[in-house]
A and B are shown apart, each in its own frame.
Chain A
Amino acid sequence: MNRADANLKLDRGEDGLEMEPELREAIGNFKSSVEAWSDAALSRPREATAPARSDRAWMTKWALGSLVFMATVSGAVYENHRQQDFAKAETARIAQQQQEMIAQRAKEEADLMARVDNDISREVPSALEPLASLMDENQGTGN
């Protein structure tokens, strides 16, 4: 359909919508332009480019997929190593804490025993001192 035909049909106003001549002309030119473009596109020689685009698209998808996979695996390995290192450090820290606690308790016990010995030695009544010296003598002879 040429431009004149298009305008003729638009003139009828079948849809009851009014159009001024300038708008009608613009729409008629637009329609003719679309028709000319469409006819030219339909009659153009076809290029077999679709498979190549498809291959490229697949390669891109594979590359992206591989990247995502590698990133995920690397992340998981790194996280695993990090957790192992953290666990080792934590174990060492707990062991050290335990050793420190044992040493502390040993020191406290030793201090307590020393204090008790000291207290006991101080609390021997003076009336028993001859007996105490006798015990010292017995220890000295091995009896």
Chain B
Amino acid sequence: MINATAEASAAQEFDSVVALHRAQIFRFLLASTRDVDLAETLTQDCFLKAHRNWASFRGESSVLTWLMRIAINLHKDHWRNRRLQFWRQTRTNAVDLDEASDWLPSGERTAEQRMLAKEQVAQMWVAVENLSERQRTVFLLRYVEELDLKEIADVTGMGEGTVKAHLSRALARVRKELGEKK
């Protein structure tokens, strides 16, 4: 009876974790892959894995940090497997960079401002695409997910100094790409 109550409580707790963090995990994976289906699949896998290991989560890091770490590992595994299974399916469902830059929040902008913003976002996608895997991860975690350096270090398993170095290089490359496109 007590066990059943504890299980129900844990399930409820996990439901609230999913409700709270699903959108953020999905957004990070979408920005990393540019593939809605793949991002959904990896998000599901992430929460499935988290659910299986929920009992062993000791709260040493925040839930979000823990989930992000799982998501990053799943993403890495996915690409590692794809590289090994290159004969299976070479085409990805990732949308092209122009299509990805079509998405802009509907704000109080003029048509010209929207056009300029779209162009800027397209350049940003190109710049992010050209970053190394680590630089891209660090960049997205910092500037899209707004994690601080310590959180990024916890998520990626790198030292804070290394994170800062990657971030600095990523910014320099993005700056260069944007400068060249002007």
Contacts and interface: CB of A to CB of B under 8 A. Distances in A.
Q: Do A and B bind each other?
A: yes
B48 to A, nearest CB: 15
B120 A25 contact: yes
A32 B164 contact: no
Contacts of A35: 27, 105, 144
Given A26-B178, A29-B124, 7 more contacts: A3-B105, A16-B164, A27-B143, A29-B117, A29-B120, A38-B31, A42-B26
A20 B182 CA distance: 15
Contacts, number: 89
Interface of A: 1-3, 6, 9-10, 14-17, 19-20, 22-23, 25-27, 29-42
Contact of B124 (A1, A16, A27): A27
Contacts of B144: 30-31, 34-35
Given A26-B123, A30-B125, A36 B105 contact: yes
Given A29-B104, A38-B23, A19 B171 contact: yes
B103 interface: yes
Interface in B9-41: 22-23, 26-27, 30-31, 36, 39-40
B164 A33 contact: no
SS of A interface (majority): helix
A34 B36 CA distance: 12
25 contacts: A1-B146, A6-B146, A14-B149, A15-B142, A17-B171, A20-B175, A22-B178, A23-B175, A26-B120, A29-B104, A29-B117, A29-B121, A30-B128, A32-B104, A33-B124, A34-B27, A34-B30, A37-B30, A37-B100, A38-B23, A38-B27, A38-B30, A40-B103, A41-B26, A41-B36
A41 B30 CA distance: 9
